[in-house]
Amino acid sequence: RGVEIKWTCAPDRITDATPATALLHFPGGLADALAERIGELETVTPTFAGRVERKGEAGAVEWAVTWSPIGFGEADSFVSSYCNTVSTPDGGTHEAGFRAALVKGLKAYGELTNEKRAGLITAEDVIANAGAMISVFIRNPEFQGQTKDRLSSPEGQRLVEQLLRDPLDHWLTESPKQANTLLGFVIERAEDRLKRRKDKEVQRAAATRKLRLPGKLADCTRQAAEGTELFIVEGDSAGGSAKQARDRNTQAILPLRGKILNVASATADKLRANVELSDLALALGVQPGNRFNIDDLRYERIVIMTDADVDGAHIAALLITFFYRSMPDAITEIGRFKGLGEMMASQLKETTMDPKKRTLARVELPEDEAEIEDLVERLMGKKAEARYQFIQDNARFAVADLDV
């Protein structure tokens, strides 16, 4: 801070990474240094930066941190730390204090705003996708090893955690919108971490046993996905009729038991624990969410075949919401169809399951992603008042189609 360094390089040593001349000057301290390092990179919030000196005693901390949804070049995150202006590339106690202060501050803000999921947050989640610089000044610092690459003084952690908490609390409470954005971003990292851990547990368990498909799935005999269809039906009775009407070579039947979970308003824990959705993903051969791979789908086409009544329409809406939120590529890359519900096997075959005679309506997404996301959130999200307002605004258009 306040120091100006003029760099000149010998002509024979100039490369793309080593300029002929450069001026290193950061009047704003670490905030300016961090800004230069990240450039025009997209960030979740403005940089949180500052400098605090301990009153009455020696010791000071300066910091700058921001978060990026896309990471920082080759690395998802980085922390550059210093003690008494000496670089500590292996971190140490001052970095531990920095992480602890961020975790405690965000958890405290979560409690203040009644965000229960804030309890999931760990230091790993806070540092993920973070770009940070921290500099600590203490007396008689202790380092590990002869190269002094890692600070080991316990005072480093105590000082940073103590001096950082108040500025962090003020920064969060002064801008609730900004704080809520950051908290939501970190909670997403926490949920991703828990999901990865759960996936690893599932993979370890799967490695010890053969591939197991849901017991209620009546699979088709064709091994290749090309030309195959999965019919999702309501309950065992509809499943029985569909099994009789199907072409066993290319058509599989998966009965659902009741209405599935509304993924637009459910927590991550409920999603992971839901048997119906787990069985559906297992039958399809894919993992929902970020790990979805369209190439893993076991069927070329997915057909939603529910009863032609209000309950059937609701189940179809819940299923479409699940596909939209958990595996949107299944909507944009393959055919999705909504069929008829339970009837006699002969009628079902002729109207819905015989490719030569049936009529299927394709479900598509509009080009405006923001519009469809807003609609899903209003109709399927947690806020009942948003659904009520939608009904108030649009009910007059649906009167002619009411089945009463």
CB atoms within 10 A of CB 314: 14
Residue in 215, 234, 250, 256 with CA at minimum distance from that of residue 343: 234
- Classified as helix, coil or strand, 253 is strand
pLDDT above 70 (res 336): no
Query: Of 81, 55, 271, 87, nearest to 163 (Cα)?
Result: 55
| Average pLDDT over every residue of 183-202 | 87
All residues at 6 or more sequence positions from 264 whose CB lies less than 8 Å from its CB, including other chains: 321, 325, 376, 377, 380, 381, 382
CA distance 194 to 282: 19
Q: Is residue 208 very low, low, confident or very high in pLDDT (cuts 50, 70, 90)?
A: very low
pLDDT tens digits, one per residue of 229-279: 999 988 776 667 888 888 999 999 998 887 788 888 887 778 878 888 888
Extract the tokens encoding 64: 């700058």
pLDDT of residue 379: 78
More confidently predicted of 380 and 402: 380
| For residue 61, pLDDT beyond 80 | yes
In which order are the strands placed within the sheet that holds 301-305?
251-256, 229-234, 301-305, 335-339, 361-362
> Among all chains, which residue has been given the structure tokens 């099994």?
243
In this prediction, residue 209 carries a pLDDT of 41
Tokens (6 digits) for 24: 């290193």
Q: What is the mean pLDDT of the chain?
A: 83
| Token duo for residue 50 | 């500052």
Active site residue 149: no
Residue 124 — φ and ψ, nearest 5°? -60, -40
Q: Which of 124, 236, 311, 329 is catalytic?
A: 311
| pLDDT for position 127 | 94
Residues of the chain with CATH 3.30.230.10: 24-193
User: pLDDT band at residue 210, thresholds of 50, 70 and 90?
Assistant: very low
Structure confidence at residue 212 (pLDDT): 63
Mean pLDDT (whole number) for 47-61: 89
d(CA 384, CA 134): 45
The pLDDT value recorded for residue 44 is 94
Q: Which residue has the higher pLDDT, 239 or 194?
A: 194
* CATH architecture label of 216-365: 3-Layer(aba) Sandwich (3.40)
Q: Determine whether 309 is an active site residue.
A: yes
Over residues 106-134, the pLDDT tens digits come to 999 999 999 999 999 999 999 999 999 99
| Interatomic CA distance for residues 106 and 112, integer angstroms | 10
Is it the case that residue 49 has pLDDT exceeding 70? yes
Top-confidence residue, 375 or 2: 375
What's the pLDDT score for residue 242? Answer: 84
Q: What is the pLDDT of residue 342?
A: 44
Tokens matching residue 325? 């939120």
How distant is the alpha carbon of residue 30 from its chain centre?
Answer: 30
148-161, pLDDT tens digit by residue? 899 999 999 999 99
> What kind of fold does domain 24-193 have according to CATH?
Ribosomal Protein S5; domain 2 (3.30.230)
For 161-190, what is each residue's pLDDT tens digit? Answer: 999 999 999 999 999 999 999 999 999 999
| Tokens describing residue 346 | 């002969």
Catalytic residue (one of 125, 229, 234, 279): 234
- Selecting among 191, 229, 276, 307, the annotated active-site residue is 307
Q: Which of 309, 364, 368, 374 is catalytic?
A: 309
What is the identity of the amino acid at 77? Answer: S
Active site residue 111: no
Query: Which pLDDT belongs to residue 399?
Result: 54
pLDDT surpassing 80 at residue 345: no
Q: Is the model's pLDDT at 224 over the cut of 50? A: yes
Name residue 246's amino acid: R
Residue type, 305: M
Q: What is the pLDDT of residue 1?
A: 61
Tell me: pLDDT of 343 over 80: no
Average pLDDT over residues 361-385: 74
To the nearest whole percent, how much of the chain has pLDDT over 90? Answer: 36
| Rounded Cα distance, 162 and 92, in Å | 16
Residues 121-140: b if buried by 16+ CB within 10 A, e if exposed = bbeebbbbbbbbbbbbbbee
Backbone φ and ψ of 226, nearest 5° = -60, 125
Nearest to residue 127, comparing CAs of 170, 173, 66, 84? 66
In this predicted structure, the answer to whether residue 339 has a pLDDT above a threshold of 60 is no
Distance, in Å, from the CA atom of 264 to the CA atom of 267, rounded to the nearest integer, reads 9
Q: Distance of CA 37 to CAs 99, 122, 294, 375, Å?
A: 21, 26, 37, 39
Beta bridge partners of 302: 230, 336
Tokens coding 263: 């993924």
End-to-end CA gap in the chain: 75
What is the rounded distance in angstroms from the CA atom of residue 323 to the CA atom of residue 175? 35
pLDDT at 404: 46
How much is the pLDDT for 134? 97
What DSSP character marks residue 295? G
169 as an active site residue: the answer is no
pTM for the whole thing?
0.53
- Where does the pLDDT of residue 74 fall: very low under 50, low under 70, confident under 90, or very high at 90 and above? confident
Confidence of residue 99 (pLDDT cuts 50, 70, 90): very high
What phi and psi, each to the nearest 5 degrees, are found at residue 381? -75, -170
What's the CA gap between 404 and 401, in Å, rounded? Answer: 9
